[in-house]
Amino acid sequence: MHTGHHFLDEHDGSAGPAVTSLHFGPAGRRALLQCSLHADEIPPMLVAQHLRQRLLALEAAGQLTGEVVLLPACNPIGLAQQVWGRLQGRFDLASGQNFNRHYPALAAGAAGRFKATAGRLGADPAANAQALRRALLDELAARPAPGLLQQLRHTLLRLALPADIVLDLHCDNEAVLHLYATPEHDAKALQLGACLGAPLLLLAQDSGDAPFDESVSSVWVQLRAHLGEAVPLACFAATVELRGEIDVDHERAAADAQGLLRFLQQQGFVRDLAEPEPGLAPIQGATAAPDCVARPLAGSLPLVAPFTGLLAWRLPVGQWVQAGQPLVDLICPTSGRSQALTSPVDGLLFARELQRWARAGQSVAKVAGQEARRSGKLLSA
Ligand SMILES: [Zn+2]
């Protein structure tokens, strides 16, 4: 293993905080696993700790057949943000922007560079991917990156654009394990879901505001629009939501690490995947989990509080529910007004707010239905 330290520049040119990358296995094909882009989402960091040990052992045993890059805590800006004694990670305090939005669109510029230099795509998909990656990285390098946040985005893209597989590990407020990916890679995403025992995969071609995963996977679809069908879809990227904020324990982290390694093995990065040492943590095989079901992200409907009050849930997350089924009682503690909020659709109640207090108009839960009913920006703020 070798370690990279990627410093972000402060405005005066001095070295600012650094992104740390751990590199396992032989250089060549790359798989990248990025942890906690939202900084205050802790479950991926513990999974990284388990992955680090497993990857060290696999590397020492000569079982890695490609490079696996692990960013164990990829957002040093967010990790330094404390407000009223609590870590605040989702939004950059300096700009108010979400750390997982607004990644630069590189396809048009990269296609122009490719045409101006290499010119034409050949018959070899690997050679085409390599030439286009160079054009994407050149286009990125040519873009200005003013400020720490933009430098963080560029740093993460520089590490991820060379990768065939990019897994961006997050968590929700309170949720079952679920995935986001793009429709052209739905089969591979379902494979990942099966490896992890995730019951739900949410698919969207363009979920709005350019999140990290789509910036490295959909860019190949966009390159096709400029350069034709010979452009390979060279990167599979998915966002993996490792349940909820407080689901941080060794048992689940070890199982998640095992699931991620199993997927990397299927993708040709690991030769023989030894089971972890007995007694370290029990591993629940994906075979015992329910099948991973793919649903359109546009079919994931919010449950909205019509007035301000406390939330008394009737069901845990992970339940399949029917339209009209009461999910939670919303209660105004002063007036005593109480209303049961019902599911907007048949589907899986897969995520909800951790706080048991809702303001009027707030989305307090998400139910994944079968039919695409929303349009525009599909992700929450
Ligand atoms: Zn997140």
Asked if residue 176 and residue 76 are part of one domain, the reply reads: yes
- Sign of the Cα torsion 217, 218, 224, 227 reads negative
Asked if residue 345 and residue 261 are part of one domain, the reply reads: no
Q: Report CA(272)–ligand 1 centroid distance (Å).
A: 31
pLDDT at position 288 is: 52
Asked if residue 139 and residue 41 are part of one domain, the reply reads: yes
The number of distinct structural domains making up the chain is: 2
SS3 336: coil
Does residue 80 sit within a domain?
yes
As beta bridge partners, residue 68 has 24, 31
Torsion of CA 90, 92, 98, 101, to 10 degrees: -130
pLDDT at position 278 is: 52
Does residue 131 sit within a domain?
yes
pLDDT at position 380 is: 82
Task: Out of 244, 274, 291, pick the residue that ends a domain.
Answer: 291
Asked if residue 134 and residue 40 are part of one domain, the reply reads: yes
Task: Out of 291, 319, 351, pick the residue that ends a domain.
Answer: 291
Q: What is the mean pLDDT of the chain?
A: 94
pLDDT at position 120 is: 87
Q: Report CA(38)–ligand 1 centroid distance (Å).
A: 5
Cα-to-chain-centroid distance, residue 60: 28
Does residue 57 sit within a domain?
yes
Tens-digit pLDDT profile for residues 120-165: 899 999 999 999 999 999 999 999 998 999 999 999 999 999 999 9
Asked if residue 310 and residue 167 are part of one domain, the reply reads: no
Half-sphere exposure of 314 (CA within 13 A, CB side): 12
Asked if residue 314 and residue 177 are part of one domain, the reply reads: no
Q: Is the pTM of this model over 0.85?
A: yes
Instruction: Read off the CATH number of the domain in which 332 is found.
Output: 2.40.50.100
Asked if residue 100 and residue 194 are part of one domain, the reply reads: yes
Q: Report CA(41)–ligand 1 centroid distance (Å).
A: 6
Residues in the chain, pLDDT under 50: 279, 281-287
Asked if residue 343 and residue 283 are part of one domain, the reply reads: no
Instruction: Read off the CATH number of the domain in which 60 is found.
Output: 3.40.630.10
Angle CA 226–164–54, to nearest 5: 165
Q: Report CA(240)–ligand 1 centroid distance (Å).
A: 9
Q: Report CA(33)–ligand 1 centroid distance (Å).
A: 14
Asked if residue 312 and residue 248 are part of one domain, the reply reads: no
Does residue 245 sit within a domain?
yes
Q: Report CA(285)–ligand 1 centroid distance (Å).
A: 25
Q: Report CA(36)–ligand 1 centroid distance (Å).
A: 7
Does residue 156 sit within a domain?
yes
Q: Report CA(111)–ligand 1 centroid distance (Å).
A: 30
3, with CB counted inside 10 A (0-12, 13-18, 19+), is exposed
Q: Report CA(155)–ligand 1 centroid distance (Å).
A: 18
Asked if residue 104 and residue 187 are part of one domain, the reply reads: yes
Does residue 225 sit within a domain?
yes
Q: Report CA(63)–ligand 1 centroid distance (Å).
A: 31
SS3 222: helix
Does residue 376 sit within a domain?
no
Task: Out of 291, 312, 336, pick the residue that ends a domain.
Answer: 291
Asked if residue 303 and residue 287 are part of one domain, the reply reads: no
Q: Report CA(143)–ligand 1 centroid distance (Å).
A: 26
Rounded alpha-carbon distances, angstroms, from residue 303 to 177, 179, 250, 344, 361: 19, 20, 32, 7, 10
pLDDT at position 285 is: 43
Half-sphere exposure of 54 (CA within 13 A, CB side): 29
pLDDT at position 29 is: 96
Q: Report CA(379)–ligand 1 centroid distance (Å).
A: 11
Asked if residue 255 and residue 227 are part of one domain, the reply reads: yes
Structural domain for 240, as ranges: 2-291
Does residue 358 sit within a domain?
yes
